[in-house]
Amino acid sequence: MLYLRVQTTNARFKMKKFVTLLIFSVILLACGPKQQKQAPADPIKKDSVKIAPSNEYGMWKLAYYASNLGDSRDKAYITNSYAIWGTFSNKANDKAELKAKFMVDKETFCIKLLEYGTKAVKKGNENLYKIKVKTSSNEGFDFTAKNVSDRLFIKGSDSQRIIELFNKGGLISFYMVTDSKTDPATYSFTIDNPDGFEKALLKISK
């Protein structure tokens, strides 16, 4: 009888030990670190380097005259692709800001002068503009031009000499003086490395 009690007690002890181990294991599994499923890694995006296309005409570009309706005509002209800044002086200003814009097509060679960068110089009581063009190597010439609207019209022989200087590149300075008796003024600006002009001229001449 004593032996049966001891055997029963041992069985209960083993069962209790087994249950305790089972509960402890369950607790460990429940409290253990939860591993999240790793999402597939996104492909690494590499920065794409954008290379600006080179301008085949250098500092020049092709534009088109606009009609009164705002539509572009087929007639193209050459103009500077960025602002050319200089200065002007008159009775009211001393070396104020000036912007110059070239407008050249198959028939005409014009320079538009914009005082303060926005106000176009229009025909006044002057007869001529005396213009001096000079390169950094002291090559250049003097000539005259007229403003019959809102730009200076340069005659063919003089414009051809300007184009020849453009083709040589380097720095080219323009200095202009009006012969007005009531509102005399001077204008000056410099352009740097104007090569590519002849190529643009060939394009619009086709």
pLDDT tens track, the chain, 206 positions: 434 343 444 545 555 555 555 555 544 445 454 444 444 444 433 333 333 345 789 999 999 987 655 555 568 999 999 999 999 999 999 999 999 999 999 999 999 999 999 999 999 999 999 999 999 999 999 999 999 999 999 999 999 999 999 999 999 999 999 999 999 999 999 999 998 999 999 999 88
What's this model's pTM, rounded to 2 decimal places?
0.71
Q: Is 104 exposed, middle or buried (0-12, 13-18, 19+ CB in 10 A)?
A: buried
The amino acid present at 30, given as its one-letter code, is A
Instruction: Return the amino acid letter for 91.
Output: K
Q: How far apart are CA 133 and CA 87, in angstroms?
A: 15
d(C-alpha 197, C-alpha 199), whole Å: 5
Residue pair 86/186 in contact by the 8 Å Cβ criterion: no
CB atoms under 10 Å from CB of 129, counted, come to: 24
